[in-house]
Structure 1
């Protein structure tokens, strides 16, 4: 969710289709979606965990703990996780200086590097999704990352028989492309 109030949410996650007449109504709609998930879980008596994810970016610096409390105590989610403000090679046009963890990017080269072998595989299933800002492709393009080092990453999972072939996934609501790896039983997520 990356925010804990309407004004910050509007800045962090601006609408794709231009301005919104009522930013408070937009924010409340997002919060209501989470509350609906919590209500559904309770009604169905399930143990599914409801987790909110926040990207650590400069605009929420000094407010992160407040926002985590909002989601856990006021809304009632089970957990709030924070993720690094990431850019993978040249696939985004985000300003890495806006990260709360600016020291992680200070000395990094900006050119595209191949192979990229930083994909972990700690379980039977691995997945990856686009970072905070994702340039929409004009033509289909997909490949396995990290073939330079067969002992690590997604390729290791595939070579060891721990995963099926990659397949495209997406966020239906927002149209965000991504890719995933299915488990050995053929399930996808």
Structure 2
């Protein structure tokens, strides 16, 4: 057991229930598989590489709090003091990344610039009318979905967040839904990336 204490990240897995530890190890292995398959370009690298890294980081990190209590970012805010959690997050190595990108909305700009930089515009230049027709059809999905969602009894901000899915622009759908209707963010995210 002393050897495992040298590698505290591995050691904390054995302090959990076996089913939880096994599930987290399985998700970490799946994250490494996503990273490998996206590196080999078997899966879409723009989606699977960040997803794999996120799976590894979330399931690999286990924070140990004072008095020997253990928790993570999902469970401790429900059971513990939020101020103490914020203190631990300030000394976490990912905190500067969160502060400089996610907390001020810079990450959305970086995503849009990155997608714009890798966009292949050869088909746009070769067939401009076909590209214009496809763009109009995508926006038509937004225009038609908004009144239908409002007729079904949704609030205007919720209807607008749902209507953004019709625009066929994944990052904009995510950003718009988190700004307009936070309670619908997860279902909208699933729908936006399923199609």
Is this a same-fold pair by TM over 0.5? no
Q: Which has the higher contact order (CA 8 A, sep 6+)?
A: 1
Greater Cα radius of gyration, structure 1 or 2: 2
TM-score by length of 2: 0.28
Q: TM-score, normalised by structure 1?
A: 0.29
Task: Looking at secondary structure, tell me which structure has more helix per residue.
Answer: 2
